[in-house]
Amino acid sequence: MTTVGDGTPSARVSAGRFFAEPLRDYVLAGLGRPVSVLQAGCLAPLRELGISELEEGGFEVSVSVVDGDDPLARQVLRQTGGAYDDVFVGDLRTVSLPLRGFDVVYCGMLLERVPHVELVLDRLTSALRPGGLLLIRVADRDSASGLLDRRLPGPVRHAIWRRLRPGIPGPFPAIYERAASERGITSYALMRGLVIAQRSAQRTIPARPPRLSSAVRVACAAISRLSNGHFADAHDELLYVIRKPQDRFARVV
C-alpha cells in the first residue's frame, strides 16, 4: 500500500508508475525548462522514471550518474557510461557533485550496499535543488529477503546473482546499515527537514528461474515465521518520493 507523508493510505501505485508520475508532475510544473537528473547507483533501473516518454513529449532531460570507486561499480560504468551526460566516481561521502545542481536525485539499489548511509544521503541531498525530488529505492534491511541476503555465504550469493542477473557484474556487498530501513529513512528525512510525499513497498523476487525463485521464497517465508514477523516477507524493497523544501527550516509534521 502506498502512503503519503502523514501515513494516510493513498491509491495503490504500480512499481512502474511510482516514480514516473511525480517526475512528470515536477517537469510539467517547471513550464518546460530543462530538467537534470542524477542517478545515484549504477544498478538503478532508470526506466522506472519514464524519462524516454518525457523526451518523446518534447521535454529536455539530462541524466548523470554517480557511484563508488570500487571495481564492480567501475565495471558497470564502463559498460553503460556512454549513456550518461556526466559520470561521477569516488567516495560517496565526499565525491564532488555540483551543489544544488540537480532537480531530481534517483537513489536506487545503492543504500543497502554502502557504508555511512546518512553521509551518502547528505552528499546527495546537497546536490539537490530546493524543491527538488529525492527518489529512493532500497532493499529493506528489516525484510526477510534482506536478512537472507546478508547471511548467505559468499559463494551462494554469487551463484544466485549469476542466475538472477546474468551478464551484470556482482554481487555487491550486502551491508544493510540500520539507515537502510523504513525507520532509518523516516528518521533521516525528519532530521534533515525533508518531506516524505509518498512511500510504498514492493516484492521483487523474480519468477524465473522457477526452482531458484521458489527456494528463495520458501526461505523468506521461513525467516518471517521463525522471527514472528519481525523480518517481513510481504515485501523486500522500499520506495520513497521525498521532497527537499524550498524553505530549509521546514520539517515533516
pLDDT of residue 16: 63
- Distance CA(116)–CA(29), nearest Å, equals 34
Per the CB < 8 A criterion, the answer to whether 236 and 143 are in contact is yes
* Helix-then-strand count for the chain, H and E: 9, 8
| Phi–psi pair at 14, nearest 5 degrees | -65, 155
pLDDT of residue 32: 73
Instruction: Read off the C-alpha cell for 119.
Output: 553521509
Residue 169 carries which side chain, given as an amino acid letter? P
Residue 229 burial (CB < 10 Å; 0-12/13-18/19+)?
A: exposed
Q: Does domain 3-138+173-204+238-243 have CATH number 3.40.50.150?
A: yes
* Mean pLDDT in order along the chain per 10 residues (253 residues): 37 65 92 90 91 92 95 91 92 95 97 97 97 97 96 95 88 96 97 96 88 93 96 96 80 42
Q: pLDDT tens for residues 112-156?
A: 999 999 999 999 999 999 999 999 999 999 999 999 999 999 999
pLDDT of residue 68: 95
Residues 6+ apart with CB under 8 A from 139: 109, 112, 145, 146, 149, 176, 180, 236, 237, 238
pLDDT of residue 17: 82
Handedness of CA 49, 55, 56, 57 (dihedral sign): positive
Alpha-carbon distance values, 216 to 9, 92, 128, 146, 157 (Å): 30, 31, 37, 12, 11
pLDDT of residue 18: 94
| DSSP string across 188-239 | HHHHHT-EEEEEEEE----S-SHHHHHHHHHHHHHHHHHTTTSSBSS-SEEE
Count other Cβ atoms within 10 Å, centred on residue 48.
19
Write down the domain spans for the chain. 3-138+173-204+238-243
**For cell 539530462, what's the residue?**
62
The radius of gyration computed from the CA coordinates of the chain, to the nearest angstrom, equals: 18
